[in-house]
Amino acid sequence: MANVTVIGAQWGDEGKGKIVDWLASRADAVVRFQGGHNAGHTLVIDGKTYKLSLLPSGIVSGTLSVIGNGVVLDPWALRDEVAKVEGQGVSITDENLAIADNCPLILPLHRDLDGLRETAAGKGKIGTTGRGIGPAYEDKVGRRAIRVCDLAHLDTLEPQLDRLCAHHDALRAGFGQPPVDRAALLEELREIAPFVLRFAQPVWKRLKKVRRAGAKILFEGAQGVLLDVDHGTYPFVTSSNTVSGTAASGSGLGPNSTGFVLGIVKAYTTRVGSGPFPTELEDDIGQRLGERGHEFGTVTGRKRRVGWFDAVLVRQSCAISGVTGIALTKIDVLDGLERVKICTGYRLRGKVYDYLPSHAADQADCEPIYEEMPGWSESTAGARSYADLPANAIKYIQRIQELIECPVALVSTSPERDDTILMRDPFVD
C-alpha cells in the first residue's frame, strides 16, 4: 500500500483540509512537514466545523498526528488550538499527537519582527500573516533557533539566548524598539515547556516504526506550490519549501517515502495577500465566485482574491512537485455560470508563454490567454459519483486534465467529508 503526500498546487486555500481528513480516515499516521500556524485547514464533518492551523488534519479522526521537524512551532498557539479542539469533543494525548523534538520554536520576538517589517514596508509589503513564520525560519537557518528539545534544558539556555538576542536586538534597534526582555522570554518558555514536552519525541524514529509495520502514512503540506520560497511567485511567497520533496526532509523519512503525490486544486483560482495573479477577476463574476466559495482566509479572515482556473500555473506546479494526480475541489462554486474560462497561456510583450516567468515584473505583466467553455445550470453540490455530474462539468474536468497534463484522482463537491468522487485511489495507485 502506498503512502500519500498531499500538497496545494495553487496559492494555498485549495481545500486540503477536507481532502486530508477524508484520506486520514484510511491512514495510520498524518504528518505536517512544513509551514506553521499561518496555514489554515477547515474540516466539516457531520455538519460540525473544525478549524486547524498547526494540528494535522488527522487529529479529528483520531489518527496518529505528527508535527515534523520542518514545521516552525508556536507553542502558545498550539496550546490554544488544542484547547479549542478538545472543547469540540476531540481527545488529544501523547498517543495521537507527536511533535518533533528538533522542531524550531516561534517566539514572541519573531511575531514582533514580522509586524515591524510589514508595517515599515508600506506598499512593498509581502502580505504575511504577521505570525512570525519567516523570522523563525531565518533563525533556524542562521543557527540561532530555540528548539523543542531546548525546553528541557532551559537552565543552560543562556549561550543560545546570547546569540539569538544579539541578532534581534540589533534589528529591533533599527526599528526604534527596545531590546528583547530576556527574563520575560525565559519565564514564558518555562511556563509553556511542560505542555509541549509531553508530546515531544524523535518523530523520525516513530515514523520509521510505523512504516516498517506496513502502515499507511499521509503527509500533509501547507500553503501551495506557488508560494514555495524557491518555485513560487517570489518574493510574494511563504518562507518554506511547499513542494512534495519537503515531506522527506521535514519529517525525517527518506525521499522514497512520499508515495502518491496528490495535488489539491480549486476549480478556479484564489490567492491571499500581495503578488501577481494573471487570471484575477475584479468584476461581478469574481464577486460571485468569492461569495459562493466563502473565500475568506481560515487563519486571518482576509478576503481572498478570485480568478479563473489557470492551467499554466497548475501544469507548472504539477511538474515541479511530481504530482501523480489532482483532487479538484469546489466544482460546485461554478454551478449556474453560462460560460467558464480556463487560462491556457500568457502574452508578455508580444510573446506567448506556456509557463510563468521567474521575474516579478514579468509575472505582473503577464496577460492571460483564455479558452472559453459552456457552463452548466445543473447542481454539482453533493455529487458522489462521476455519473451524477452535468455533462458540461465533466467536459470541464476532462479539459483541465488535458491542459495540466495530469489526471484527476478526486473531485470534491462540497465541504462535507463524504461528498467526494473517487476516480483513482491514492493509497492503492
Residue 120's pLDDT is 85
3-state helix, strand, coil in the chain (%, to 5): 40, 20, 40
Q: pTM here?
A: 0.91
Residue 47's pLDDT is 78
Residue 149's pLDDT is 98
Within 10 angstroms of residue 117's Cβ, the number of other Cβ atoms is 17
Share of the chain above pLDDT 90, in %: 78
pLDDT tens, residue by residue, 207-266: 999 999 989 999 999 899 999 999 999 999 999 999 999 999 999 998 888 899 999 999
pLDDT tens, residue by residue, 121-132: 777 676 677 889
d(CA 231, CA 243): 8
d(CA 237, CA 225): 9
Contact 242, 66 (CB under 8 A): no
What is the CB-side half-sphere exposure of residue 117 using CA atoms within 13 A?
A: 19
Q: Is the pLDDT of residue 1 over 70?
A: no
Contact 81, 52 (CB under 8 A): yes
Span 292-316, average pLDDT: 87
Q: Reply yes or no on whether 41 is catalytic.
A: yes
pLDDT tens, residue by residue, 357-410: 999 999 999 999 999 999 999 999 999 999 999 999 999 999 999 999 999 999
Residue 278's pLDDT is 97
Out of 37, 110, 140, 231, pick the active-site residue.
Answer: 140
pLDDT tens, residue by residue, 56-113: 988 988 889 999 999 999 999 999 999 999 999 999 999 999 999 999 999 999 999 9
Out of 28, 37, 41, 101, pick the active-site residue.
Answer: 41
Q: Reply yes or no on whether 140 is catalytic.
A: yes
Residue 299's pLDDT is 61
Which is it for strands 64-67 and 29-32: parallel, antiparallel or unpaired? parallel
Helix or strand or coil: residue 192?
helix
Q: Is the pLDDT of residue 415 over 90?
A: no
Out of 13, 74, 139, 419, pick the active-site residue.
Answer: 13
Q: Reply yes or no on whether 13 is catalytic.
A: yes
Q: Which residues are annotated as a binding site?
A: 12-18, 38-42, 129, 143, 223, 238, 298-304, 330-332, 412-414
Residue 384's pLDDT is 92
pLDDT tens, residue by residue, 331-349: 999 999 999 999 999 999 9
Can you state the angle between helices 182-197 and 75-87, rounded to 10 degrees?
40
Helix or strand or coil: residue 64?
strand
Which is it for strands 325-329 and 408-412: parallel, antiparallel or unpaired? parallel
Residue 297's pLDDT is 66
Residue 66: name the closest of 247, 243, 191, 232 by CA.
247
Residue 58's pLDDT is 85
pLDDT tens, residue by residue, 155-187: 999 999 999 999 999 999 999 999 999 999 999
Within 10 angstroms of residue 296's Cβ, the number of other Cβ atoms is 14
Q: Which residues are annotated as a binding site for GTP?
A: 12-18, 40-42, 304, 330-332, 412-414
Q: Which residues are annotated as a binding site for Mg(2+)?
A: 13, 40
Helix residue ranges per DSSP H, 271-351: 284-292, 311-321
